[in-house]
Amino acid sequence: MFAELNLEDNLKIDSLCDAFESEWTPESSLIFKPYLDRCAPHLHRGAVQELIKVDLELRFSNGLEIAPELYQNQLPEFSDVIQEVVESSKVELNTLLFPQQTSEKDQHIHKAKPNTSKETPEEHFGRFKLLEELGHGAFGTVYRAYDPTLDRVVALKLPRLEKRDTESINRFLSEAQIAAQLHHPNIVAVWERGEIKEQYYISSAYVKGETLEDCLKTHPPALKQKVIWIRDLALALHYAHEQNIIHRDIKPANIQVNENHDPMIMDFGLAKRTNLAVDQTTDGQVMGTPAYMSPEQARGIVAEIGPETDQYSLGAVFYQLLVGEPRLKGTAYEIIKTLQNYPAPPTIHLIKQKIPADLIPADLIAICQKMLQPISSDRYESCLAASDDLTRWLDGRSVSVRKISQAERVFNWARRNKVVSSLLGLVLAILSTSLIMISLALFEASDAREEAENNLTIARTQEAIAVNEKKKAEISEVAQRIEASQSKLLLAGYEIQAGRFYEALSYLSALPKPDRNWVWKLQSSRIPKEICRIANFKKYNFVSPRVVLSPDGKLVSISLSLPADKTYHHPRMVTSIFDAQTGKFQHEIQNNDYHIATAMTDGFTTDSRYLIIAFQKKFPMRSESTLGIFDIQQKKIVKYFGPVRNAHLSPFNANEIVLQRNSKEDSKKVEYLTWNFLTDKETHFGIGPYVSLNRFSVNSDQTEIAFRSPEKVDVKLLKEGKSPLAGIFQRLNANHHNLSKDQKQIVGRLQESWYWKSKRKTVVPGKSVIVELPSKLVTVLENDPAVASLFDFSFNFSFSDDNKYTMLKASKSTSLAYERKQFCWWNRQSGEYVGKAIGQGVSRDGKRYASIENRSVVIRETPKHLRRFQSEAIESTLARWHPLHPAPRTEARPIVFYWNEQPWVFISHRHGNDVVDRKRNIVTRKRAFPLPYFRISKVAVHHKSGNIAYYRSKDKVEVLSLKTGKIVARLPCGKFPSSAFLAFHPDGTKLIGGDAEGLIIWSITEQKILEKISHTKCLMGMRGKMQFNSSGNFLSVYSTGYQSVILEKDTWVDQAKKISKVLFKITLSPDGSLLANADINGQITIFDFRSGKVLHQIETDAQYATPQFHPIEPLLIVGRNDGRLLMYSTKNWRLVFDEALPVGRVEEIKFSESGDAFAVSVETNTTRRWFEFSSKR
């Protein structure tokens, strides 16, 4: 409350506010003096402030007027406090759960009344569909919501947080981060945290049931059930403690009892990581719920709070379960004062005064007393030890914290060994009775033997039930673990697409080793290779680092702050230079006359010889700096220049800096000039308007300067004349920064329509394009879903030094503060999107970028192989045919296939040559069809022999050897051949094809038709498909207008009739046990191929889908007509992979023989594009 008041005073004020709130009515509002009379005069000012806050909130919730005059009339001596509290509280009370900029629809959602069970149809928060409000309070609102990404119902927590309340924000984010690391059947799972439109959220498992607090009120459980609950909770807390996490707020309201009557711990809002040096809680700060907190919590001593704290709170819950009421009662102040005096645990006498003696066993009282010891070292050594004692009691054994008599030991033994004790009793009875009557003893012995056998049978039955239940629990635990791992795989994929590779690594590294399957290897391989990791920053404050890579990527500068020490009595910021390939430290740059020395954004010169440093006298950082030129070879500052306001290196002249400094003539304007730091030559461009960094630039001849704003680009010349670049600058909203290194091309965002003559189409405004100077449109950059929102930052476009890539640095900030930027790469030739990464710096050659990962600076390779081919030959060949922007009549559609674990490209076009390039893996064929629409659309491959087959003409099929590059056979066709239907027989000696009359089977060695099968028609064109499953037992054929079939090898009998009369696009699993069929509406049905039973259905929400089983792994890959590529586990049919490809029809999925890699084609009406995914990089 108040820094000048001690803890005891604050607690007194808090108790006073509790009394005021409990006695408040609309009529008693504004009456404060009776409450002020209850406290000392030096507390009045603080009490007034807190009482008014409580009254304001109550008046607001009851619709009463809020105004400073209402309180000033009652308390005129505190008018300054009243004015401040009322004005600040008005803002808080009128601030809803969402920020003010949220839409009216979102505001409507969050104004819903709490505790309502009415569903709100079709209300959304981001991707979540809100189904029901579960709770509403001061913290915010919790909804039952549907997450389409994870295909499950979740609990969605939306907190009410002020932007300036960084502590609450950090605690909320910390809650999600901590809870997400815990995977235990008695802990509510947290799936993810995030932020949508400045609203934070946590998505966790939805547990149907009620809290333990409500359960105790409505239907208290039996004693044994209570003990089982406390034991399970103790095991859950022990698991959390092993993960270095303390809950710090265990109480009945934070324990959910699910439908299976299992307790689950939730709400880690006050949790603490014990293995971190930094804690958000400070000494003297009391956190938790008083009735359940430990003495060390009540005293606010952070160093004493550990796993024993949670044990004490669980003991308080145990006490309430045994007795029926909390151990401590009263106001928060009274309870905390009691706990601060280390109260002794409740005695057996006191407990049995509340509950009859026979209802609570002495062992349980002893366990509860042990957990409630005031000194933490006197409690159980861990929650596991407490759970062991509870288990011993449940098993009928003695507990460790209570000594028992010999008679009790015998009684407990007899209770545990009922069969044996019964037999002993019977034997004694028989012996005693036999002395009286032997004949009766024989009958009684027979009865006893029969009873013993019955007891043994019952014991065995119970043992079998217990073993079965244990197996079920183990299976359930494995299923939950796999489900959690699959969710992490899916989330890792989304992070990879977004360029957040450190976050993706966190998800992937969290997977247990048994769950690290092929999809895990695939996603891991897509993370760019780590070149170097720099982590030795112990003496620095690792806050707001600035990272700059040299153009060639060999050096990296890191600017960090240093705390004050004995030598320097003030904080400093220094810049260190490291080898970017080995991480070896080279030099530290600082100047005793300046407290701040930080590298400029583009600090290294193009030859990497010099680093430009911005010096400032002291903190806080100001707008003007003095530039220092650091010579890396001489390891010293060789020149200074200043003061300057903004500066950047010339993109054309290595030793020139373009400067901006405050004008002495006009305070509202700035002066522009260039400075050659080797010759000290200055070229002045006069004064002009202030624009931020990268919005002003100078040409290589230093004859003109360009100023860019969102609306226009102004070019100012030193001499009279006209700038040759002014027109294109205006047309693209670009300047000299957007020119290529050779100044022949420029990249920018169109401000008006542009007719693309070579493609015969008009490019609309808003598209980002590359233009060959003076005015030839070369390509349009792909607007991939991953980067669609980043084109607003088109002023940060540039070319890589080798001109292979166009790059974008998406960041509006020009400050020196740490900021994660988004870097994107496109193929300069084709305009295709290559990849994206989030980091701090990128080298100008486009090959490396730097990011901050776990207090380390990590240098990684460019993410250019996320879904592109590793082979440069394949990439350049595919780019040559302009797959993104094909010519009006594209004469070639490349076909990709795999042989010998390598991708190959097959191209047939009018000007092609009959060449097999075995070094570059490219096959070209001259088109022999007379009409352009007769093109080779499919190629069949036989991996073992290395032969491929394709329709060369209307009457010939060619078989070509990739090993020799020669034609193996030319086979005669039937009538109306369809180039879509070709497949090699598994033995490689025969080829199967299809036409309008049926199937044709050729002998490759004899080069003749062996057989025709008329019951299978093939009329599908390019979209048809014929394929053997991996084992080679069945041939699947699908064709529009006809029933798709599955033919048994050699007999060619259709085995699909027993499954369905209507099959469209089909695929068979490698072992032939599963059949997947995609109907004309995009719904995929999975059948048991042997019985025809429907096992599962997948709604793809697409009009067209292509299913394909992985040849090795238990996966079903599904391509949609909107460019989405999905993978489902065939074990539980959960989604494990979701990749957003460019919009188009995913038509072909081609695997390598090992299944480690596969290529995907995306088809449109004008083009075919290929993408590769490989688990080996």
Which residues make up each annotated binding site for ATP?
Answer: 157
Tokens of 472: 């079920």
**CA 818, CA 473: separation in Å to the nearest integer?**
48
Going by C-beta distance under 8 Å and a sequence separation of 6 or more, which residues neighbour residue 951?
Answer: 936, 957, 958, 973, 977, 979, 982, 993
Reduce the DSSP state of residue 702 to 3 states and report it: coil
The alpha carbon of 505 is separated from its chain's Cα centroid by a whole number of angstroms, namely 10
680-701: burial string, b at 16+ Cβ within 10 Å, e else: eeebebeebeebebbbbbbbee
User: Mapping DSSP to helix (H, G, I), strand (E, B) and coil, where does residue 584 land?
Assistant: coil
Distance (Å, whole) CA 945 – CA 932:
32
Residue matched to tokens 């350049």: 876
Yes or no: say if 1075 and 1089 are a contact pair by the CB < 8 Å rule: yes
Which tokens hold the place of 246? 């303390």
**991 by DSSP, 3-state: which?**
strand
Gap between the Cα atoms of 962 and 950, Å rounded: 13
Phi-psi region at 608: left, alpha or beta (left = phi > 0; alpha = psi -120 to 50): left
Locate 802 and state its tokens: 């080798």
Beta strands (DSSP E) in 86-165 are 123-125, 128-137, 140-147, 152-159
Q: 76 preceded by cis ω (within 30°)?
A: no
Quote the CA–CA distance of 557 and 7 in Å, as a whole number: 47
The helix-helix angle for 518-525 and 501-509 (nearest 10°) equals 150
Task: State both tokens at 520.
Answer: 């895990």
Report the SS3 class of residue 213: helix
Report the distance separating Cα 770 and Cα 753, nearest Å. 14
Helix (H, G, I), strand (E, B) or coil at 105: helix
The pair of three-digit structure tokens given for residue 531, joined into one six-digit string: 């070149």
Q: Are strands 833-839 and 585-589 parallel, antiparallel or unpaired?
A: unpaired
Active site residue 249: yes
Quote the Cα angle for 308-310-314, to 5°: 115
Q: Are strands 555-562 and 902-909 parallel, antiparallel or unpaired?
A: unpaired
Q: CA 574, CA 561: separation in Å to the nearest integer?
A: 6
Given the residues 249, 310, 389, 995, select the one marked as catalytic: 249
DSSP code of residue 757: G
Are the CB atoms for 836 and 849 separated by under 8 Å? no
**Coil, helix or strand for 723?**
coil
Tell me how far apart the alpha carbons of residues 85 and 79 are, in angstroms, rounded to a whole number: 10
The token duo for 354 is 């509340």
According to DSSP, the β-strands at 902-909 and 922-926 are: parallel
Which neighbouring-strand residues pair with 1170? 1161
Across-strand partners of 1033? none
Distance of CA 392 to the CA centre of its chain: 43
Residues comprising the chain, all counted: 1177
Secondary structure string (H, E, C) spanning 868-934: CCCCHHHHHHHHHCCCCCCCCCCCCCCEEEEECCEEEEEEEECCCCCEEECCCCEEEEECCCCCCCC
Cα 214 → chain centroid: 35
Q: Which of 303, 388, 294, 400 is nearest to 340 (CA)?
A: 294
3-state secondary structure of 685: strand
CA angle 425, 433, 445 (to 5 degrees): 60
Which amino acids are annotated catalytic? 249
